Amino acid sequence: MHLVTVLGNLLIIVAFSSDSQLHTPMYFFLSNLSLADIGFTSTTVPNMIVDIITHSRVISYAGCLTQMSLLIIFGCMDDILLTVMVYYQFVAICHPLQYPVIMNPRHCGFLALLSFLFSLLDCQLHNLIVLQFTYFKDVLISNFFCNPAQLLSLDCSDSFSSNILKYISSVLFGLFPISGIFLSYYKIIYSILRIPSPGGKFKAFSTCGSHLSVVCLFYGTSFGVYFGSALSQSPTSCLVASVIYTLVTPMLNPFIYSLRNRNIKSSLRRLHSRKF
C-alpha cells in the first residue's frame, strides 16, 4: 500500500512537470498535494514496517520529535492545500471572469509557499509545547507513530502558556481552514444551483466531486485520530483511524483525482507512448 501511494502520487507529479497542458492552477496545487502526501505517509509507514520486522517498539526522544515534526509539516500542508484548492474552485465557479487575474502563476506560487510556512509555524508551536515536558523516559504511546495529539495529552500540567499555544494551534490550523472550506462550498453550491441548464450543473458538480470526497476522507479520519486519542479510552479505534489517516487516504488521493480526470489520464498515455 505504501508503494502504491508513493508511485501513484509520483505519477501525478511527473505528469504535471512533463506536460505543458497541465500547467494550470488546479494541477499545480494537485502536484503539491501529491508531494505532501508522499512525505506524510513516508514519515510513518517505513518506520512501522521496520518495527514489525525487528519486533522493536522503541523510539528515541530525538526520533520521536523528528517524526512528530515531519508529520505535522506534511499533514498541515495537506490541510492548507485542500483549503486553497477549495478557494481555487470558488473563484473558478463563482467569479469566472476574474479567474485569470486572481489565479495567476505568481499568486499560486505564493499560496503554495504560504502553506509551507504555516506548516512550519504549526510544527514550531507543537515543539514549544512538547519540549516543556521533562518526563519522556519510558513513556508508552498507544500508536505506531508519535501522534501529536497523544504527545500533547501527556502534559499533566495546566500551565497558561501551554494552553495558549494549544488554542492558537487549534484555531489557526483547525477552525480557520474548515470554516473556509464550508463557506466556499456554500457559495459554490449556491452558484451551481443558479445555473439554468442541467448539463452545466452536472459539469460543475463533477468538478467539485473529487475534491469534496478527498476533503471528507481527510478531515473525517484526522478528526478521528486527533480527538479520538483524547476522548476514547480504547486504543483500537484510534489505531484504525490512524491507519486510514496515514496510509489509506494518501493512497486513495491519486485514484480519486486520476480516474475522474481525463487530462491526467491523457497526459499519462502521452508520457507512456513517448517512452516507448
In a structure prediction context, what are the per-residue pLDDT tens digits for the chain, which is 276 residues long?
Answer: 899 999 989 988 888 888 888 888 888 988 999 999 999 999 988 888 888 898 888 888 888 889 989 998 998 898 888 888 888 888 888 888 888 888 888 988 999 999 999 899 888 888 887 777 656 667 777 778 887 777 777 766 555 666 676 677 777 777 788 888 888 888 888 887 777 777 666 766 766 777 777 777 777 766 666 665 555 556 666 677 778 778 888 888 888 777 667 777 777 777 777 765
Between helix 198-231 and helix 249-259 the angle, nearest 10°, is 180
Q: Which of 179, 174, 180, 181 is nearest to 225 (CA)?
A: 174
Does the 2-265 domain belong in CATH 1.20.1070.10? Answer: yes
68 φ/ψ angles, rounded to the nearest 5 degrees: -60, -40
Alpha-carbon span 120 to 123, nearest angstrom: 5
Alpha-carbon span 146 to 153, nearest angstrom: 12
In this structure, is the dihedral angle defined by the CA atoms of residues 151, 153, 154 and 159, taken in order, positive or negative?
Answer: positive
* Predicted TM-score (pTM) of this structure: 0.83
**Number of C-beta neighbours around residue 134 at 10 A:** 6
